[in-house]
Amino acid sequence: MNIDNIKKEFPIFSNKIHNNDLVYLDSANSSQKPLVVVNRIYDFYTKEFSNVGRSVHYLSVAATNLYEKTRSSVQKYLNAKDKNEIVFTKGATEAINLVASTFSQEFLQEGDEILLTELEHHSNYVPWHYLRKSKGVKINFAEIDEHGDISIENIEKKITPNTKMIAITHLSNVTGAILPIKEITQLAHSKGIPVMVDGCQSAPHMKLDMQDLDCDFYAISCHKMYGPTGLGILYAKKKWLDNLPPYQGGGGMINEVKKNDISYSELPNKFEAGTMATAQVIAFDESINFLNKIGIDNIISHEKKLLDYGEEILRKNNSVKLIGNPQKKGAVLSFTIDGIHPHDIATILDEDGVAIRAGHHCCQILHDKLGLTASARASLGVYNNKDDLDKLNESINNCKKIFNK
């Protein structure tokens, strides 16, 4: 599969938006879906549908096999040691809530500290914030440097003897900063602290190797990874999944149920209560196939070229200010324009068919720190090309014209 030609795998690009071609630069929000994935959903529902793991009839057995096949594909894609280290959730947000809730029940006490960073998405802050009330836990934030980057030193500074968990993003959805997870994990482990990584933004754009990163938890949203909505993945080392209590309770995650007590299933069922997102899991196998067919190395180099080009033209465009200039940067171009509010930019770009996002991107802490209430963000996917970035720039110029800038 040739990446330069990949747009044709995505049916949405044959539609017009306000009579313009769609220039989709909102993949950090959610990616478009290749036809193979949509077809898989269609075929599953029309030819093979059944619930998983609960009946012994043909369709159910087949669906169970398909469901577990995706688990194996994800294991391989993440280079996880064990298939049972892959838990399906409804999204990265649920995955992080699962970790915060179960980890705190088993391992946290009043006065313990969680270390986040100023880059974190609300989904990697609110679940930890809950523990302030329920457990009397304290939350610390490693600070960004002037490039919108987090150095290992700034992490180290905030570690105290009470730090019981480091929960950090792999790739910032605003500054694009790629954090040195492997080094952070080494540092943390040397102090006996587990590391939870918010991999939402990294997963579609970077090579993922759990055994190399050696992190304890890794949260992923499938809808940002060319997969269906309503599905996420929690990778967790087996020792954690074995020792954490279950999260939601319901059908499928129990061993024996009595009126006075309940015992729970083995992995992976223990953490998959109730009917899961069967069709979505099964279709996600096609997303993994799709990524594998292009090859992550090709994706990385394609997106790097685009990012460099995008930065180049936007830097040349006066009155556009890029946000963040980290050492290693991925797939995200956030910016402001003096005197034009990001919301107005986004609305006007939209008239030209250019879809970007404006707002705080669920990162209020970061925006506060940067002295902004909002920013504009163009983010990349495999299907983007230089044309898209040229159109972005053109449309920004239209916008400036309207506002007489």
Partner 1 sequence: MNLKELYQEIILDHGKNPRNLGKFENFNKDAKGHNPLCGDKVHLFLKLDENKKINDISFEGQGCAISMASASIMTDLMKGKNERQVKELISKFLEMIKEKDDIESNLLNDDEKTKLMSLGGVKNFPMRVKCATLSWHALSSALDDFQKKVTTE
Catalog residues that contact ligand PLP under the rule CB under 6 A. 28, 91-93, 121, 123-124, 169, 173, 198, 200-201, 221, 232, 250-251, 274-275, 362
Stretch that binds partner 1, among 58-66, 84-92, 98-106, 181-189 (CB under 8 A): 58-66
- Binding string to partner 1 for residues 129 to 148, with x set by CB under 8 A, is what? --------------------
Q: Which of partner 1, ligand PLP, its own copies, none does residue 107 bind to, with CB < 5 to 8 Å depending on kind?
A: none
**DSSP symbols for 263-303:** EEPPTTGGG--SS--HHHHHHHHHHHHHHHHH-HHHHHHHH
Stretch that binds its own copies, among 147-155, 209-217, 250-258, 387-395 (CB under 8 A): 250-258
> Which two three-digit tokens encode residue 270?
């223990």
Burial group, residue 308, by CB count within 10 angstroms (0-12, 13-18, 19+): exposed
Could you count the other beta carbons within 10 Å of the beta carbon of residue 316?
9
- For residues 299 and 272, what is the distance between their CA atoms, to the nearest angstrom? 32
> Which two three-digit tokens encode residue 354?
């250019």
| Contact call for residue 130 and its own copies (CB under 8 A) | yes
**DSSP symbols for 68-96:** HHHHHHHHHHHT-S-GGGEEEESSHHHHH
**Binding to its own copies, residues 72-101 (CB under 8 A):** 90-94, 96-97
Residue 215 annotated as catalytic: no
Stretch that binds its own copies, among 15-23, 78-86, 152-160, 304-312 (CB under 8 A): 15-23
- For residues 77 and 55, what is the distance between their CA atoms, to the nearest angstrom? 29
| Contact call for residue 37 and its own copies (CB under 8 A) | yes
Kindly state the smallest distance separating residue 109's Cβ from ligand PLP, in Å.
27
Cα–Cα nearest to 174, from 368, 402, 363, 313: 363
What 3-state DSSP class applies to 257?
strand
* Nearer of residues 21 and 68 to partner 1, judged by Cβ: 68
Is residue 120 within 8 Å of residue 360, measured between CB atoms?
A: no
- Binding string to its own copies for residues 185 to 224, with x set by CB under 8 A, is what? ------------------------------------x-x-
- Binding string to its own copies for residues 318 to 357, with x set by CB under 8 A, is what? -------------------------x--xx-xx---xxxx
| Contact call for residue 228 and its own copies (CB under 8 A) | yes
**Binding to partner 1, residues 95-134 (CB under 8 A):** none
Burial group, residue 211, by CB count within 10 angstroms (0-12, 13-18, 19+): exposed
* Nearer of residues 216 and 272 to ligand PLP, judged by Cβ: 272
The catalytic residue positions are 362
